[in-house]
Amino acid sequence: MSADRRRVVVTGIGAITPVGLDAVSSWSAIKRGISGIGPITLFDTADYKVKIAGEVSGWDNSLHFERKDARRLDRFSEFFIVASRHAIEDAGLSYSGDPEAASRVGVMVGAGFGGMGSFIDEIDTLRDRGPGRVSPTGVPRIIPNMAAGLVSIEHGLTGPVSCVVTACSASANAIGDATELIRRGAADVMIAGGAEAAITTFGVATFAQARALSARNDDPEGASRPFDASRDGFVMGEGGAVLVLESLEHAEARGARPLAEITGYGMSADAYHITLPRPGGTGAARAMKAAMDDAGLTPGDIGYINAHGTSTSANDSTETAAIRIALGSEADATPVSSTKSMTGHILGGAGSVEAVFSILALRDQVLPPTINYETPDPECDLDYVPNVARELEFDHAMSNSFGFGGHNVSLIFSRV
């Protein structure tokens, strides 16, 4: 860790997930091992092989947006905007009437697809009703950067505003990239995270055709089973989460209470395949090692890993191998769990949601469980905190996110 770079802390969090409409209720469900997976209600699945997903149950956009505004928003943007409101409120931030301070605050969103639902709707309109009926707000609803733009507009934030699109590592990249902006002095505060709302006709159909999804339709709550020998694919989830990041000096100056410090950010590429991870886990291990080097930590310092843990055959065994490479002899003593066992895979929003859970695990000194872990897999032989949360004293948590195209990201959060 460079001695002259600025330290970055987390002072606010917000989350909208399949197990809760805010961070508090989501974390409560996660600690209790509650699954958010159920039958898909967002569209008719009669002709679909896969009929289950992790929907955000009870979501009502009319509670958060005026009707005219809601018509201009995709579901994924709604999640990001509301999670940002929660995080900003949690951090106690307000820049009303202070344009100079607002110019030092930015927004960074990560998404894999962006407005997939809106894109499908507009294509259907074009095909069925002709070009004259396509909405003039179609493009703003679809493009993934718009979620960050809308948050900056709503709160008058005129600092760096950007978007990362790196598949399922996108929101972890967004958090890491936002951290770097603060470290180098380009911003004092960043609103960073991601969202996804891809439980759509096309989203489910294409992943099902790729045989990536669990078809355990008769047992939704047991379908996402990371590291278990009987896993048969991931379960799609939706939602999003946001962190308020700020320099330690800025937080101290305004009397903010840091929840955690971001001490490590590592990236690597598999350079192997468009969807499959590199066998043996060497690519993912490089990201984990880079994060530890960035934080100035050794493998023995890592007290917990929130795994990417998708419940697919290739990912879970490869990530296990990667952890063994990165942590060496410390791997057996390091607890690892996958909260995707309860939320499903939120794709581009997954990294931000799991960052929130990692931070709250640090705060409460409680490890979230991997539920549905019943049958050990010889290729997955670590401590996966099976089925029940565990109390543990630890100072550093690592969160892994890997994406199609070979993107690997690791973040490290530390107690302040």
Domain 9-253 sits in CATH 3.40.50.10490: no
Say what the pTM is: 0.97
Single out the catalytic residue among 86, 168, 380, 396.
Answer: 168
Active site residue 308: yes
Single out the catalytic residue among 345, 380, 396, 407.
Answer: 345
Q: Where in the chain is the domain with CATH 3.40.47.10?
A: 9-253, 266-414
pLDDT tens, position by position, 352-384 = 999 999 999 999 999 999 999 999 999 999 999
Separation between Cα atoms, residue 234 and residue 344, nearest integer Å: 7
Q: What distances in angstroms separate CA 1 from CA 259, 263, 292, 298, one per listed residue?
A: 20, 8, 9, 12
pLDDT tens, position by position, 194-244 = 999 999 999 999 999 999 999 999 999 999 999 999 999 999 999 999 999
Single out the catalytic residue among 308, 380, 396, 407.
Answer: 308
Active site residue 345: yes
Amino acid at 198: A
pLDDT band at 97 (very low <50, low <70, confident <90, very high): confident
Active site residue 168: yes
Which CATH fold would you assign to the domain 266-414?
Peroxisomal Thiolase; Chain A, domain 1 (3.40.47)
pLDDT tens, position by position, 100-136 = 999 999 999 999 999 999 999 999 999 999 999 999 9
| DSSP secondary structure, 274-337, as one string | SSSPPTTSHHHHHHHHHHHHHHT--GGG--EEE----S-HHHHHHHHHHHHHHHGGGGGGS-EE
